[in-house]
Amino acid sequence: MRWTRRLGNLVSGFYLTACYIFILLPVAVLILFSFQDGRLPVPPFHGPTLNWYATAIANDRLMTGLGNSLLVGLSSSALSVILGFLAAYGVSRYEFAGKRLLQGVIILPLAVSYLLVGMGLLVSLSSLGLGPSLAMVVIGHVVINMPLAFAICLAQLGEHQRKIEWAARDLGASTFRVLTLVTMPMIAPALIAAFCLCFTLSWDEFIIAFLVTRFDVTLPIVIWTMLRGGLNPQTNAVGSFIFLCSILLLLVVELLLFRKRRE
């Protein structure tokens, strides 16, 4: 018995290490060669230098892309959280016919591939006579992120919170004041976490952004265009920056959402 368990531990330990190497090694290499003192981000490593970060910051196309990505990320996340929260409030607090069906429909986009969402958006918008633009990206990102925000909010609006809302009504509050003075502040950590998560997903989303933009493009599209011209430590620098932002936001999510649930 003992040796089988030990063998099991050994195998699962090896498996886990292999997993982490596969996931993290490319990221580590990407970050390492963003400091490469040379023209190619390939071994052997020379440096370190921050030259490529300076080049990236001076690159207008990259900076415009960064600005566009921020704009799309912030607006689509804000919309996703507002719509997701209101939908979750409605579903958790009111009884109506077809409630479960509606809930399913709201969650459904999570199961649809980004390619389909992007293509569908492109087809339906061009039939309306609208061309590709950043606004389309915002819509596309709301479609994929709203279900997530909805699910996070719904998980926080349980019976305990309902009782607390009752108490507010009992003390004379209208629905609007219950929402703004009690419900939203009460689940603020979840709302912020949902926002961060939506932003992270929007921030490095490629397929939808690629399909529905033409001239104003987001950062991932700019990087992809640059990569077509060959490897360059500048793209490593931008990639590292994106990675850092995502990690920071996920840390916020972790702190707000999962820490709280453990309490």
Residue 136 neighbours by CB under 8 Å, 6+ apart: 121, 122, 125, 130, 212, 213
Quote the least distance from Cβ 156 to other proteins, whole Å: 12
Q: Which long-range contacts (CB under 8 A, 24 or more apart) does 219-228 make?
A: 219/62, 219/65, 219/66, 219/68, 219/69, 220/69, 221/65, 222/61, 222/62, 222/64, 222/65, 223/62, 223/65, 226/62
180: contact with other proteins by CB under 8 A? no
Among 44, 172, 229, 230, binds other proteins (CB under 8 A): 172
Single out the segment in contact with other proteins by CB under 8 A; choices: 116-124, 164-172, 208-216, 235-243: 164-172
- What end-to-end distance do the CA atoms of the chain give, in Å? 37
Per CB under 8 A, does 174 bind other proteins? Answer: yes
Give the shortest CB-177-to-other proteins separation in angstroms: 7
User: Scanning the structure block, which residue is given the tokens 């502040």?
Assistant: 185
Q: Cβ 173 to other proteins, closest distance in Å?
A: 5
Count of all residues that appear for the chain in the document: 263
Please, which residue, 104 or 185, has the CB nearer to other proteins? 185
Name which of residues 102 to 161 contact other proteins (CB under 8 A).
160
In the bound state with other proteins, the residue whose beta carbon lies nearer, of 60 and 95, is: 95
The binding site for other proteins (CB under 8 A) comprises 160, 163-164, 166-174, 177, 181-182, 185-186, 188
